[in-house]
Structure 1
């Protein structure tokens, strides 16, 4: 008989996620993903000036803030047929590229590494051996025996104090950990280095966007005053600072992150659980031409079904028959009905909580059990994110992606099928980071060349005034965010927002079952996974973290302190 275990909350993620799993003979038979908060940002922006919406929806999340602002801005520009200056396009792409790098590094070291790295084991490491390993895989300067001895002493002091702090919530000593102590020490050292590095790289957003988090955007371009001769604008010194930060990120990714990823991955290449759907979706992004020039996307668009990389299908987020959100097992209603699906242009955010009163021990998963809706592409569940983008890019023959994937698989000694796993998602995130620092360098060079040639324009106000707008308009802002395909859909009427819907990456991945019985990416990835000890479900955490969940993006309001359902009054 199956035993139901509950992991709530799942830690080291953004937001609140509950996983329930039925385990039989040490293997997960069925898993359930539940967002435990209520969503409502779409209601907040209704009837507002569409030019202001980006500032509201950017507050959906404190991690990937700039992505929601950019998707919102793109939706308005798409609706009103606004073309932005080339410099604005380059600045936006540089900011997004460096967000990817920052997000992926932080995820690898601070959110996901402790699922593969046993911190306590590092205390038995020989710093001399760690130094030899470090110098054999990278030219990174911090690799002396003395350096690693200092890191070991620092960790020992934390453990001896009994206050594990950032190293709490780990299943230390679990048999699923496979790294030798010396590699564990290497990873812990770079965990600490990454904390310092990530504070610096975000300055790119501060320079181009005014601040971080929540940098500034504007419909029609960027509010970035390029003026190399002004003390008040983005002058030559600040541009060189951005350029330097990009180069430093390049070094950290290629000399620290990727060597660590390959070193750790080599010990886990037989741990290929957590593949799941093998259905992958990417909207595509990072155009070398106009944002709507799909053919120029460095990150290609497409859909793969059942892992068939020989047949990439087209995806169109504007097509009402392609993308729909279903609510059969979600706490919402559509036009008074508790079932069905709608394209975001016709979507609703109408709360319909029918679940148990807190506290409760188990969800009734035969009925509605999540605040997350169930997005589907042509009624098929999809995985989005780094693995989806890498698979679509590889299948479409994007040269840079094919080259880096083939080289990495050769180093690990595995085939393309190994990417359909939790480890594959982790590897894909690292490969994206290599591409992102390369593209950011290219885009920064183009921006500097434009400025040198006298082009300092970042904003076009041609269609800024509402009097130039049609009475009714609708648009989609699609993009690729670090966690996957992101879309914001807006309907504008009489110069105000009539309706607004956002489908974020975690909504795709963390979705519950739909009306046809098809499960989402998290639930599919957990199925058939062996669990060594239900009391220490490291395997569940490892798989879920491989998606880098962002529940704050998928659902928005909760009250954990009082365990009360949040009451929302409109009007």
Structure 2
């Protein structure tokens, strides 16, 4: 290639040294990343590859649309529930079903519980180790750690020097045993790590606290959905009956005792994100104040469908409004319509699929999932031992979604940029207050437009969204109790459950603000069966390969121009890729009924 200018202004140059990260770990699914670095070890080209084949849409053809949620929910075990919710919304949209208010509120609590849980687990157990050196925590002074904790979060009750001393002793025993477990194979001597020992000890302590609490918050799903992961949903509402005076038996699990249990978990989540999660992100970021890399497309094009409606079926009441921002212009937000065939389209020019004419894009209602594995003429290695991919040809099992031809970033950062630009008071207050705390700690004077479109900004947006979800869950809970007290016990609308009431042909779309970004499912129903089903997931948007115009996806764009301390220890690559919380299982997957062969791909 050697040098290529992309339409979004990135200059790609693959003439330098090639660094391959395969597999990218601490994500869901299988991913490969290749970059080229120049003589100064700055990334000048990036190639993001999904290395699993996607084919779930094929298994759904001919099935009952009321069952689709149970299949697509198992796309992933991490973002559990969001695919099910998107699916039932798509089917209800196609059939014209309106769910009861109680069902809407319960679904909202379940969705936000997932959001909160996913964000906390992502930061502490998948992403924090890109910033935090647990081995360095052994050098910390517990008294100084306590002082740091009380400075960044004075409301957190677990902040004594003795508490941190006990955690440090546990960690010391763990490290000295020679069995580092989850901390094994880290690049702990890499100078890319900037935290002082006291900050490392504080963060590792909260890693353990989050590990303990994350198993409690998911119990909300077990109350409303029967289990976690993969809680139960249903077309027309939720499958849990309300009996405030009952004991939870006879198919009526929602009584006052269970609801009080849920409320307590929601309060605990609110306190944790307020006193631990957000302060940790701000404190850690302040020690990396000069590391403002990784923005990529977030400083140019962002997209979300909008979600968290206060009033069911009224998208204008979304508490995180949707839209599209192009060319970094926060003063203009373009409306988004997932039904419009000219807006959302998927391309396969550089994906291992074929449309026949691979230069065109397809709207998901007309989507095709037909595999075509072939490597470009300039790849290096063998087909069973690839050393370097050829990005001028097909190189990923991920398709390339575009909004009116534009590559966009999706995710919590996109939602927060859109909400901030559209003047959502709560979001503006969160961002301005957090950035003020960061600037005070770091001695900087960054504006939201400077700070948010970065790897650190992407991480902060996820923390702020978790806390916003905790607040909204408490509001939803109060509204649910008020509605029940008013005498409404309905949790499902089954008027159109019988396929005999359905039209011969119909189609629908469901969207959700999934933890990793805007999620959409499109369905066509004919004679009571699924004729076509397509999922366009957040990691498909962010992890997409190039399109016919040469636009690169968000993963690739985020790595551009990032300096690396030691290219053979790619902390910086992992740091930025992890900030998206990639889910390759969602964006690329394959299933077949009864274990039978769905398709055969021969590699010679």
Scaled by the length of structure 1, the TM-score of the pair is: 0.97
In structure 1, distance between residues paired with 2:359 and 2:354: 7
Name the counterpart of 2:304. 282
Secondary structure at 1:303's aligned position in 2?
strand
Residue number among 195, 204, 228 corresponding to 2:220 in the alignment: 204
Secondary structure at 2:81's aligned position in 1?
helix
Q: Deviations over 1:17-43 (max 9, x none)?
A: 100001112111110000001001101
Say if 2:447 is the partner of 1:415: yes
Residue number among 395, 400, 405 corresponding to 1:374 in the alignment: 400
Secondary structure at 1:301's aligned position in 2?
strand
Say if 2:250 is the partner of 1:218: no
RMSD of aligned alpha carbons:
1.3
Q: Deviations over 1:315-339 (max 9, x none)?
A: 11110000000000000011x3344
Q: Is the 8 A contact 2:283 2:438 kept in 1?
A: no
In structure 2, distance between residues paired with 1:309 and 1:339: 31
Q: Structure 1 residue 443: deviation in Å?
A: 0.2
Note the residue ranges of structure 2 that are not aligned, 5 or more in a row: 1-14, 376-381, 440-445
Secondary structure at 1:248's aligned position in 2?
helix
Residue number among 151, 154, 169 corresponding to 1:136 in the alignment: 151
Name the counterpart of 2:464. 431
Residue number among 115, 118, 121 corresponding to 2:136 in the alignment: 121
Residue number among 19, 24, 29 corresponding to 2:44 in the alignment: 29
Instruction: Give runs of aligned pairs for residues 333-372 of structure 1, distance below 5 A.
Output: 333-334=354-355, 336-355=356-375, 357-372=383-398
Q: Is the 8 A contact 2:80 2:114 kept in 1?
A: no
Name the counterpart of 1:90. 105
In structure 1, distance between residues paired with 2:338 and 2:73: 21
Residue number among 154, 159, 163 corresponding to 1:147 in the alignment: 163
Name the counterpart of 1:16. 30
Residue number among 174, 193, 202 corresponding to 2:190 in the alignment: 174
Q: Deviations over 1:366-393 (max 9, x none)?
A: 2100000000000000000010000000
Q: Deviations over 1:177-213 (max 9, x none)?
A: 1111001000000001100000000000000001000
Secondary structure at 1:342's aligned position in 2?
coil
Say if 2:67 is the partner of 1:52: yes
Q: Is the 8 A contact 2:56 2:590 kept in 1?
A: no
Q: Deviations over 1:460-490 (max 9, x none)?
A: 1111111111000000001110100000000
Q: Deviations over 1:522-568 (max 9, x none)?
A: 0001111111111101110001001000000001149xxxxxxx963
Q: Is the 8 A contact 1:333 1:339 kept in 2?
A: no
Q: Is the 8 A contact 1:484 1:505 kept in 2?
A: yes
Note the residue ranges of structure 1 that are not aligned, 5 or more in a row: 559-565
In structure 1, distance between residues paired with 2:567 and 2:283: 29
Q: Structure 1 residue 14: deviation in Å?
A: 0.4
Q: Structure 1 residue 307: deviation in Å?
A: 1.6
Instruction: Give runs of aligned pairs for residues 244-393 of structure 1, distance below 5 A.
Output: 244-277=264-297, 278-290=300-312, 292-334=313-355, 336-355=356-375, 357-393=383-419
Q: Is the 8 A contact 1:178 1:268 kept in 2?
A: yes
Q: Deviations over 1:213-242 (max 9, x none)?
A: 000001000001111112222111000000
Moved over 4 A (4+): none
In structure 2, distance between residues paired with 1:45 and 1:429: 32
In structure 1, distance between residues paired with 2:303 and 2:74: 25
Tell me how many residue pairs correspond in the alignment.
561
Instruction: Give runs of aligned pairs for residues 182-197 of structure 1, distance below 5 A.
Output: 182-197=198-213
Q: Is the 8 A contact 1:121 1:173 kept in 2?
A: no
Secondary structure at 1:237's aligned position in 2?
helix
Q: Structure 1 residue 407: deviation in Å?
A: 1.2
Name the counterpart of 1:562. none
Secondary structure at 2:91's aligned position in 1?
helix
